[in-house]
Amino acid sequence: MRRTVRFLGIMLAGALLAHVAFSAAVSAWIAGTYRHRLFNVRNVEDATQWGPLARLFVEGQSLDDPRPKILLFGSSFTWGYSWPEEDVFSWHLQEAMPEYQVLNLAVIGQDMSGLLKLACDIHGTGIKSIFSVVEVNLFNLRPQNLSLDSQPCTESSHYHALGGLINYFHFTISHPWGLEYPRTFWNEYDYQQPERQFSWTPLPNSYFPDLTLFKERQIHIKSTIERAIELVSTFSNSIYLFVAPTLQEGAELSKYPPENLQTIADMIVSFCASSPITLCLDPGLGLPRNDFGNLTHLNMAGHRAFGSWLLSHMDRWRVELSAQ
C-alpha cells in the first residue's frame, strides 16, 4: 500500500511539474504573440473561453492608451487571413484615424452566435467604443444554428473566478491550455508567411450558403442581427455593419449561382436597416479579381482598397449624421 501511495505521489508531482512548465511556456508564448498581433482564437471550439481571452486582449491593449476605441468584429475576412497585421484593412483604418485606437476582435471562423457571445464579453469589460465595425460573413452565418431566443448576457465565470482555485483549474486543464494551443495559435504563425499563395479551385456547393435554408430561417437571421446590433450598441455610439464580399468569378467557377449570394446579402442589409445608429453596407459582388486572394479573402491590395471604401462610407455617414 505504501508503494502505491508513493507512486501516486510521484505521478502527482510529475503532473504538477508538467502543468507548471507547460503553462509557463504557453503563457510566455501568448504574451509574446499578443504584444503586436491581432486577437484570434481560431480552433477554440468552446466559445465560452473566448470571453477571458477577449477581455485580456482588449484590456491589455487599451490599458495605457486613452484614445477612444474602435472595435472590429468579424471572421477571417476582418482578421485578415492570412496577412501581416499591417496589411489588413483594420490597420488602414488605424492609419486614417490616428486619434482613435483600432482593436481588431475578429475570430477566424466566427459565426453569429459566436459574435453574440463575444459582444457580451466586451460588454462585460465596461469599455466604450466610439463606433464598432461588424462583419457578417455569409459563409459563416450558419442559419441552422440561430435561435429566436435572445439570451441575456451572463457574466463569464471563468474570468471573475480566476482567483478561485476551482475555476482556475477548470480553465487551465480544459481548452486551450493543452496541446490544443499550438493549433489555436496556428494562425499566428501564418503571419510569418505573407508570400503564401492561395489556390483558385472550384469548391463544392456545400461550401456556399444555401439560399433555401436562408429563406426558411430568415426570421431567425433577422432576430439574431437585431440582437447583435442591440448588444454592440451597449458599448458603441454607432455601428457599421457590412456583408463580407465574395468574388463573383469564384462562385461561377464553382458553378454556384452568384445571384444567390446577392439575394442573401440584400436580405441581411434589409434586416439591419431598421437600426438608426447602424449603417448597413454591402460591397456587392463586383470587386475586381485582383483584390482577392481566394473566393472569400482579400489580398493585401484588396485590404487597402476595402479600407478606403469603408472610410469613404464612414465619412459620408458621419457628415449625414452631423447634418441631422
Partner 1 sequence: MLFNSHEFLFVFLPVTLAVFHLLRRPAPQWAIRWLLLCSLAFYAYWNPVFLPLLVSSIVVNYGLGVWLWRRPRKGPLWLGIGLNLAVLGVFKYAHFVAANILGEDHVPPFIAGIVLPLAISFFTFQQIAFLVDIRRGRTAPGRWDVYALFIAFFPQLIAGPIVRHQQVESQLRRIGDRRRRVGPLFTVGLVLLVLGLAKKVLLADSLAPHADAVFDFTLRGYGVGFVDAAIGTLAYTLQLYFDFSGYSDMAVGLGMMCGIRLPINFWSPYKATSIIEFWRRWHITLSAFFRDYLYIPLGGSRHGALRRYLNLLVVMGLVGLWHGAGWTFVIWGLWHGVLLALAHGWRTLRARGLPGLPLQAGRPVHGRARPLTPAAVLSWFLTLVAVCAGWVMFRAETLASARAVLDGLAFHKGLYSSMALIDPRLYWVAGGLIAVGLAVALALPNSVQWVDRLARTHGLAAYAAPEGRRSMQVARLGWKFGMALGAMAYLAVATMSSASTEFLYFNF
Amino acid at 320: E
User: Is there binding between residue 46 and partner 1 (CB under 8 A)?
Assistant: yes
Residue ranges in 182-241 that form contacts with partner 1 under rule CB under 8 A: 199, 201, 204, 206
User: Is there binding between residue 178 and partner 1 (CB under 8 A)?
Assistant: yes
User: Is there binding between residue 19 and partner 1 (CB under 8 A)?
Assistant: yes
Q: Which is nearer to partner 1, 18 or 219 (CB)?
A: 18
Q: How far is CA 57 from CA 37, 73, 199, 229, 265, in A?
A: 10, 14, 32, 22, 31
Q: Which is nearer to partner 1, 161 or 311 (CB)?
A: 161
> Cα(110)–Cα(118) distance, rounded to whole angstroms?
10
Stretch binding partner 1 (CB under 8 A), from 6-14, 238-246, 262-270, 308-316: 6-14
Backbone angles phi, psi at 278, to 5 degrees: -120, 130
Residue with cell 434589409: 270
Q: Which is nearer to partner 1, 16 or 273 (CB)?
A: 16
Backbone angles phi, psi at 280, to 5 degrees: -105, 125
Stretch binding partner 1 (CB under 8 A), from 64-72, 170-178, 238-246, 313-321: 170-178
Stretch binding partner 1 (CB under 8 A), from 14-22, 95-103, 235-243, 277-285: 14-22
Contact 134, 115 (CB under 8 A): yes
Residues 6+ apart with CB under 8 A from 206: none
Stretch binding partner 1 (CB under 8 A), from 27-35, 150-158, 169-177, 275-283: 169-177
User: Is there binding between residue 14 and partner 1 (CB under 8 A)?
Assistant: yes
User: Is there binding between residue 180 and partner 1 (CB under 8 A)?
Assistant: yes
- Sign, CA dihedral 193-195-199-205, equals positive
Task: Please work out the total of residues on this chain that contact partner 1, with binding judged by CB under 8 A.
Answer: 30
User: Is there binding between residue 165 and partner 1 (CB under 8 A)?
Assistant: no
Planar angle of CA 181, 89, 258, nearest 5 degrees: 95
> Cα(26)–Cα(55) distance, rounded to whole angstroms?
18
Q: How far is the CB of 199 from partner 1 (least distance, A)?
A: 7
- Residues engaged in binding partner 1 (CB under 8 A): 1, 3-4, 7-8, 10-19, 22, 45-46, 172-175, 177-180, 199, 201, 204, 206
